[in-house]
Amino acid sequence: MTIKSIHYIGAAVLATLLCGAWAAQGDAPRDEGPSGQVISQVRQPGQFHGVEVTVPAQVEVIVGGTESVRIEGDAKVLPLIETVVENGVLTIRPVKRNMRLRTGKLTVVVEARAIDNLGVAGSATMSAKGIRADNLTLEVAGSGTMDITRIEAKTVNASVAGSGNIEAAGRTQHAKVSVAGSGHADTSRLQAQQATANIAGSGQIEMAAQQALTVSIAGSGDVGYYGDAQVTKSVMGSGSVRRLGGAR
């Protein structure tokens, strides 16, 4: 993806890249609204291994099929949304950067052979299951949400910038989770041997670690963990680190 996983000290950059990528530039933004007629399209964007969404939509990612995108929404809105592949990442976005879309109900089903990074910006929602990868990156910027289950990966990097939410479940050797702002990351059902948690602000992280957990908090954030990991922590502010229970 064009955005990089980062620790909390760089989370502002993540928010800028995702949330600001399609902000108005120059002229006042066009406000495009729905017409009331619902249509469906199937698009063939080419091969990709990542998905990034910057429009208000409900997105489901299905792993294991041939690359395709099925998009359903208002007949007036769909032509204003492009599905392009850049550097191996399928990006779903407005056709013009200064366009402010009122999409109404917009649903997208993405099929891919394999996935190793997912990202949402703004108020988009995304779900996926059954992802297998060496290194998996999950990113939310803004108020979006992401729910990813049945993960099998060597490393998982999950980050939230803003008030968004990530939930992740599965297995990994090393989980790296960061929150900047008031967001929430629940990776308590992502079984990890080693884990790292970083918070800047008032965010919350729940996670699981069996061997080692390293925590860094700047602000009033809270990290709760399951498991018997040895904990190393650095807290600046009123933040807290607490054990929630044994392995789940």
Residue 220 domain-assigned (yes or no):
yes
The token pair that represents 168 in the structure block:
């992740």
Residue 138 domain-assigned (yes or no):
yes
How far does the chain reach from its first CA to its final CA, in angstroms? 31
Q: What integer pLDDT is reported at residue 103 of this predicted model?
A: 76
Which CATH number covers residue 165? 2.160.20.120
CA-wise closest residue to 171 among 201, 197, 136: 136
Q: How far apart are CA 70 and CA 149, in angstroms?
A: 21
Question: Does residue 220 carry a pLDDT above 70?
Answer: yes
226-239 pLDDT per residue, tens: 999 999 999 999 99
Residue 28 domain-assigned (yes or no):
no
The token pair that represents 166 in the structure block:
């990530």
* Number of structural domains the chain divides into: 1
Average pLDDT on 129-137 reads 97
| Domain range enclosing 181 | 8-21+38-245
User: Residue 92 forms beta bridges with which residues?
Assistant: 53, 83
Q: What integer pLDDT is reported at residue 229 of this predicted model?
A: 95
Q: How far apart are CA 161 and CA 180, in angstroms?
A: 5
Q: How far apart are CA 129 and CA 16, in angstroms?
A: 28
161-183 pLDDT per residue, tens: 999 999 999 999 999 999 999 99
Q: How far apart are CA 227 and CA 245, in angstroms?
A: 6
Residue 240 domain-assigned (yes or no):
yes
Residue 33 domain-assigned (yes or no):
no
Residue 108 domain-assigned (yes or no):
yes
Residue 3 domain-assigned (yes or no):
no
Residue 119 domain-assigned (yes or no):
yes
63-93 pLDDT per residue, tens: 998 899 999 999 999 999 999 999 999 999 9
48-58 pLDDT per residue, tens: 999 999 999 99
